[in-house]
A and B are shown apart, each in its own frame.
Chain A
């Protein structure tokens, strides 16, 4: 069994095989040769795991985010955040964090946020004196906030894999996401002071009013998504669908920034991205099911009980494991495979499953910009044409800032659960 579920996946992963093939091949070996179960389980799992109401939100959020990026809404959000923060020291760096947070509230995709916000802000950051390493690292790390701030595709996948409420996960993610953004904002403020970056621009209420009026329709999307979900008007899936329709109406009919041909292109691209992520769900569900049948979570819980580990030590071990996994695996695959195994372990240690979903998401968000395999690093390298060592240098302090946020989120459950209890 250990060969099928540990050694074989590692070998196949190292060979560069698609993650869904790695999981399918390993699960097939475990199913047929080790557990000798009926192979019809493959068909029903591949079909049934995707046929899930919560998962329908994934293509909708990807589609809404892509329509808004192509339709110029991200540009309007950047202008709005810049007009609010314009008078402060480090304003453009803070705008990067703020705009990534705002964009994360409509997109839910980390690499898309790096490409969209970075494409707009990188030249200005360099012009205003931010060193290459600081500017690129800030963009790569800020993009990761997108998967913590709801709506988050990572949280939808956790909700599906761990059978938890996606709505509660979204509500739980608000304050941890804002805390992460706040700590990164403080870091960039003090970095700008240290580097002596003096940015021009002044704070003017008239300008804020003008920009807000210009981007008023754009702001409707986060209001529909977040307001709809938090007030209980829509389920996350319905909110995602309504956000798609709203984004299409605003970008095609009101702003007229998106042609019908571009809308079709965005539609097919969104399906491509959806298939890329969700094809893993079927194989990961099969693998997780086999691990559960084989009693792996129970074995882990029994091991922790014999080791007499205190809850905080269990969480520390889980955090280190998730950080390590996040450095080599994308968040979707990591969540789908590990959530069903780790959830019973942390719940047995006394943690709330929604709290753990947020912790897992924050961990894997850090993995998105942690060397050597963080996806945002490669997006940043490709978009900004920056050498990796330069990028790594800038990332080091940002990783530390995010680890601080992770520690606070992990050991202060109130931050995640206060809003969940208030709004449930």
Chain B
């Protein structure tokens, strides 16, 4: 395996795979535990007459993490819902130019979200009402996820530009 990691590119690839495996593990376990938690809450309420009072609040936070961290994987696979039929029907040159421009808009949106999140979260010094979880920690999922999406799209742009360099002249 070590022989495969020759250059920095190889190391980056291995690290990237590791990060995505960790994200999938975290989110997969999160979803399965959420199923158990909501069932336990329903059981507790009807059978034991003792619902888990923090269940609903925690499930809401788990969902926020599922959505934003899950979106990093969606970004990596280019799987976001879009209306791409018009761009698909364009000439390859125009299509690539529009794709690159689209990626730049995506990067600008990510940068804005990260910038405003850092400024806003630093003022959060309160805890969730029932479970008592620190809100600034819970909110970090947004800058972290959009930061990862930013890196994914930067890598895609570099790949696109490199492929353009290598492309044979028309």
Contact = CB atoms under 8 A, between A and B. Distances in A.
Interface of A: 12-21, 24-25, 28, 39-40, 42-44, 46-47, 50-53, 55-56, 59-60, 63, 233-234, 237-238, 241-242, 244-245, 248, 264, 267-268, 270-272, 274-282, 328-330, 332-333, 372-373
Given A16-B82, A28-B109, A63 B117 contact: no
Contacts of B18: none
Interface string B114-148: 00110111000000000000000011001000000
A24 B67 contact: no
B169 interface: no
B52 interface: no
A77 B56 CA distance: 33
15 contacts: A16-B98, A16-B102, A19-B80, A21-B109, A28-B109, A43-B120, A44-B120, A50-B63, A52-B63, A241-B34, A271-B31, A271-B70, A275-B68, A277-B81, A332-B81
Given A16-B82, A16-B83, A275 B109 contact: no
Contact of B74 (A44, A276, A332): A276
B113 A60 contact: no
Contacts of B61: 51
B93 interface: no
B60 to A, nearest CB: 4
A332 B81 CA distance: 10
Nearest 4 CB-CB pairs, A to B? Answer: A275-B70, A18-B80, A241-B38, A16-B87
Nearest to B113: A42
A373 B87 CA distance: 13
A271 B71 CA distance: 9
Nearest to B77: A272
Nearest to B70: A275
B22 interface: no
A51 B64 contact: yes
Given A237-B38, A244-B35, A279 B63 contact: no
A359 B151 CA distance: 42
Contacts of B119: 39-40
B153 to A, nearest CB: 10
B38 A272 contact: no
Given A15-B87, A40-B116, A272-B73, A238 B38 contact: yes
Contact of B66 (A39, A42, A52, A271): A271
Nearest to B138: A47
Contacts of A19: 80-83
Nearest to B128: A51
Contact of B70 (A44, A60, A274, A329): A274
A18 B59 contact: no
Nearest to B109: A24
Given A19-B82, A237-B38, A268-B24, 13 more contacts: A17-B106, A18-B81, A20-B81, A40-B116, A42-B112, A47-B64, A47-B138, A238-B38, A271-B27, A271-B31, A272-B79, A276-B71, A279-B74
Contacts of B70: 271-272, 274-275
B59 A53 contact: yes
The residue among A39, A52, A275, A280 with the most chain B CB atoms within 10 A of its own CB is A275
A280 B70 CA distance: 13
Contact of B83 (A42, A282, A332, A373): A373
A209 B158 CA distance: 62
A241 B41 CA distance: 10
B67 A278 contact: yes
Contacts of A271: 24, 27-28, 31, 66, 70, 73
Contacts of A18: 80-82, 106
Contacts of A332: 81
Interface string B85-98: 11110000000001
B121 A43 contact: yes
B98 A245 contact: no
A20 B142 contact: no
Given A271-B28, A272-B73, A47 B142 contact: yes
Contact of B112 (A14, A28, A264): A28
A329 B60 contact: no
A14 B113 CA distance: 23
B66 A328 contact: no
Interface in B21-37: 24, 27-28, 31-32, 34-36
Contacts of A24: 109, 112-113
Which of B61, B66, B108, B117 lies at the interface centre, i.e. has the most chain A CB atoms within 10 A of its CB? B66
Contacts of B67: 50, 274-275, 278-279, 281-282
A275 B68 CA distance: 7
Nearest to A330: B81
B56 A53 contact: yes
A46 B138 CA distance: 12
A279 B73 contact: no
A13 B109 contact: no
B160 interface: no
B65 to A, nearest CB: 9
Given A245-B36, A268-B24, A270-B31, A47 B139 contact: yes
B87 to A, nearest CB: 4
B142 A43 contact: yes
A21 B63 contact: no
A238 B28 contact: no
A106 to B, nearest CB: 15
